[in-house]
Amino acid sequence: MNTKKRSLPREIAPGVHWLGDCLEQRYQGKIYHSYNSAFLVVGTQAAILVETGHPKDFPVIEQQMITVLEQQDVPLKHLFLTHQETPHSGGLGRMFARHPDLTVHGDISDYHLAFPQYADRLRPMEIGDRIDLGGREFVAAEPVVRDLRTSLWGFDSGARVLFPGDGFAYSHYHWDGHCGQIAEEAESLDLVDTSAVFAELALFWTNFQAMTLYADRLEELLKELQVEVIAPTHGLPILDLEQTVPKVREGLVAVSA
């Protein structure tokens, strides 16, 4: 059993850095850990932050981001949010205030109502829209599993990393040292069980849908984009899709079985 913890930030693919901290969740007498992760994608000309993380984690995520940017000597120019829920966009106000040249991308729908003073820095995106980072592009991707109507996924063309927000969401075991590990390193993790629990509690609509249809479309999207790495907001990054995706699929489908 691999119980070696890894500290963040962690580069999970060339130019893609995993940021965040754990959140404890109690369920059926156990304490599960979960991530509300953010990811920093660094090109030759610009960097983009994907998600801002949970408000409680913002000081940690911000310092991790600063550390990476100082090492890479590339400016942060963009922020992409998969949707408006607090664990994904809870640091938006602070990002606006602390980075005056930052533009915010995604399905920005109602952000102008919360931050009217920053409305000119909002950039709506639709599936297929692209942001040039220099040597790589960040692409808006189909949100197969939505948390909100406004959900939108992202894709990095450089390292072929998918950022699926609430897709591929699951918890991990703190007591087995899974914190900071990628999914394949967490050998004792029951991905089927933790994926099912997360879907049942956080994506309640999945209890009433034929999730096989969604799981099939997920696998089609992975092939269409030629995804090599999956970087979920809630869950450990997946680097071996052949080994791990079938387990996540089984958990997702189990909810509606």
Q: pLDDT for 171-201, tens place per residue?
A: 656 656 677 788 888 776 666 666 655 666 5
Q: Which domain holds residue 100?
A: 10-255
Residue at 228 is within a domain: yes
Residue at 2 is within a domain: no
For the chain, the distance separating the N- and C-terminal CA atoms, rounded to the nearest angstrom, is: 31
pLDDT of residue 1: 44
Least confident of 68-72, 93-97, 99-103, 173-177: 173-177
Which one, of 61, 112, 249, 100, lies nearest residue 167 by Cα?
249
Residue at 46 is within a domain: yes
Residue at 1 is within a domain: no
- For 236-252, what is the mean pLDDT? 88
Residue at 210 is within a domain: yes
C-beta neighbour count of 26 within 10 angstroms:
8
Residue at 168 is within a domain: yes
Residue type, 63: Q
Count of domains for the chain = 1
Residue at 206 is within a domain: yes
Helix, coil or strand: residue 21: coil
Residue at 223 is within a domain: yes
Helix, coil or strand: residue 218: helix
Distance, in Å, from the CA atom of 62 to the CA atom of 254, rounded to the nearest integer, reads 37
CATH of the domain at 168: 3.60.15.10
C-beta neighbour count of 240 within 10 angstroms:
12
Which one, of 3, 36, 27, 53, lies nearest residue 196 by Cα?
27
Is pTM beyond 0.75? Reply is yes
pLDDT of residue 205: 61
